[in-house]
Structure 1
Amino acid sequence: MPNYFNTKKVVLTAVLFTIVLSTSYAQLSPPGLGKGKTASWFAFGVKQALDTVHKKESTTYIGIGRKSSPDDTNPFNKMGILVLNQEFSNHYTKHWQYSYAISYRRSDLYESAAPYEHADPAIEQEFRLYGRYTYLTEIGAVKWKNTFRQEYRKFFNPDFTKSGEDYQFRTRLKTQVNIDLGTEKLHHIIGSAEALFAISKENRPINEWTKFSYKESRFGVYYQLTPHEIPFTFDFGYMYNLIGKNKKTGVNYLAIDVVWNNPFGKTL
């Protein structure tokens, strides 16, 4: 990668940990797309309040991720993933929130050697269940969220036969800061840092459990626009995905998402 990306990684990490050192304020964060150089993510979501005080919410979204080959930097080169996600959340006290969700993901798989054609099988399907528990605090224009998220991931080949990895339990720890820019709460800067750990039950190369271990980290910076005139939230961001423990690989993501707020009124 150009030195620009290495510099950006260092600056990004410094900014995140200087600010404070979750769940999203509204953004629909990119999923990991595996090894590569660059990637892109676009998502459209619908967020609907389920009660009159907006403590209970439903968030539904569809997202598409694309990525480069290992030898180029085009983030739109190859199809990466299709995501369908449904989440319910309850901000039941001032500082605490829980969420639970179900997700379907369809990922394209590629050979590790040039010309990086689709592998055999070319597609891996995933059904995911997850729960999330969040502590929230607010100091003036700064909102801070710390989240513990536990996932169960079940994998299938395109014909729903067993894939090489049968299923996985993954633990995610995330800290996130949202800063309001100005008094009108139109513009926001969001910074986040997340670490992921997992243990898997594998079918191939042999039937066994892997060790529970660190897998990757994700660092993000977003600009968020929440105009008062229309019921939409717009997010434009960058994520750096650092994969691996010893032989680390970094992937640079460009991300855009749009969330339609309360299309069925203030509450269902």
Structure 2
Amino acid sequence: MNLRRASFFFLCILGKQAFAQISPPGLGKAHTADWVAFGVRQDLDSLKRWQSMSYIGLGRISNPTDYNPFDKSAILVLNQEFYYRFHKHWQSSFALSYRRQNEYFDSYPYERENPAFEQEFRFYSRFSYVLETRRFKFIPTFRQEFRKFYTPTFAREAENFQLRSRVRLQLSINLDAAKTHQIILSSEQLFSASKLYAPSQWEKLAYRESRFVGYYSFAPKSLPFIFDLGYMANRLGTTSPIYVHYAALDVIWKNPLSHHKMAKRTRIGNLE
């Protein structure tokens, strides 16, 4: 294994071939929510087998009694993920994420809890099968997460850590030959088990929620950006489920380092 490949492997152990959109995180009980994210996607080798995806995202939620998705600040997300396409049909990824999520009481006037927010560090990996034609791309994905929770002062939470498994089916539909316009649909089911501090015990592994997502993606050839506008229905619970409705917008900057190098070579060429 050469030094360059070993370096990439080391980075992966610390930390999307990224998917086209940055889907909203679950924000708990509310009527409506909104999610805005900005990401940077960079190819790390000439064969495009290795890829980095970094993003920052912000989410807001409504009160349980109204439908204003901008009412309350809900979450800040910082995420770094590395992808490796190791086969024509297979890809994997490794990621590290930090999340700061605000906590509110469920009863009127829905003020902040004390402590006002929870911190989370998350490590996860994905394994995906990619089946692609000119018109369609179908990607089943299994994602395994380790979630560690802290108070605002980094003291331990009642929930020590959580193991969560996610199964997603995603379909991308190209609306034109140049793949400038896409429709992206997905369904994801989440299962988890938590280790508690007091009493020191495990909650059993169980189904917790589902997420149904639809996106319109626009990637103009004249710009190094992808613009995504979407909707997510988050189904929480089993016997008496509730639905939270999300509006989502994200912008992804493609290969900024490559564009910088190209611009630099152009300037040097003009000087010569």
Q: What is the TM-score of this pair, normalised by structure 1?
A: 0.89
Partner AA of 2:243 in structure 1: G
Distance 1:24 1:244 in 2: 29
Superposition deviation, residue 209 in structure 1? 1.0
The count of aligned residue pairs is 246
**Is 1:260 aligned to 2:253, yes or no?**
yes
Deviations 1:114-149 (A, max 9, x none): 000001111100000000000000133000000000
For the Cα contact (< 8 Å) 2:18–2:41, is it kept in 1?
A: no
Using the alignment, how far apart are the partners of 1:228 and 1:23 within structure 2?
19
Kept after mapping to 1: 8 A contact 2:17/2:50: no
Equivalent residue, structure 2, for 1:57: 51
- The residue identity in structure 2 corresponding to 1:117 is E
Deviation at 1:267, TM superposition (A): 10
Q: In structure 1, how many angstroms separate the alpha carbons of the residues matched to 2:225 and 2:40?
A: 9
Say which SS state the counterpart of residue 45 (structure 1) adopts: strand
What is the aligned counterpart of 1:251 among 237, 240, 244?
A: 244
Match of 2:125 among 116, 123, 131: 131
SS in structure 2 at match of 1:236:
strand
> Superposition pairs for residues 214-229 of structure 1, below 5 Å?
214-229=207-222
The structure with higher relative contact order (CA 8 Å, sep 6+) is: 1
Structure 2 residue aligned with 1:192, among 171, 186, 189? 186
Distance 1:153 1:267 in 2: 36
Q: Which runs of 5+ in 1 are unaligned?
A: 1-21
Partner AA of 1:261 in structure 2:
K
What is the aligned partner in structure 1 of residue 7 from structure 2? none
Query: How many angstroms does 1:103 deviate by?
Result: 0.2
Q: Which amino acid aligns with 1:151?
A: E
Q: Is 2:76 the partner of 1:82?
A: yes
Q: Is the 8 A contact 2:17 2:49 kept in 1?
A: no
Written as runs of structure 1 = structure 2, the 5 A alignment for 1:89-128 is 89-128=83-122
1:185-236 superposed Cα distances (whole Å, 9 cap, x missing partner):
11000000000000001235x3321010000000000000000001000000
Q: 1:144 aligns with which of 138, 142, 159?
A: 138
SS, match of residue 30 in structure 2: coil
Match of 2:39 among 28, 39, 45: 45
Tell me the percent identity.
Answer: 49
Name the aligned partner's letter for residue 241 of structure 1: N
Shift of 1:163: 1.2
Give CA-to-partner distance per residue, 1:70-99, whole Å, 9 cap, x none: 001001100110000000001111100000
Cα distance change of structure 1 residues 265 and 24 upon mapping to structure 2, 3 Å threshold: closer
- Give the 5 Å matches for 1:168-179: 168-179=162-173
Contact 2:209 2:237 in 1 (8 A): yes
Mapped partners of 2:83, 2:89: distance in 1: 14
Which residue among 149, 152, 162 is the counterpart of 1:158?
152
Partner of 2:224: 231
CA RMSD of aligned residues (A): 1.5
Q: Do the aligned partners of 2:82 and 2:93 also contact (CA within 8 Å) in 1? A: yes
Post-superposition Cα deviations, 1:41-68, rounded to whole Å, max 9, x if no partner, equal 0000000000002111000000001000
Determine if contact 1:23/1:147 at 8 Å carries over to the other structure: no
CA contact (8 A) 1:41 1:65 kept: yes
Q: List 4+ stretches of structure 1 deviating above 2 A.
A: 22-25
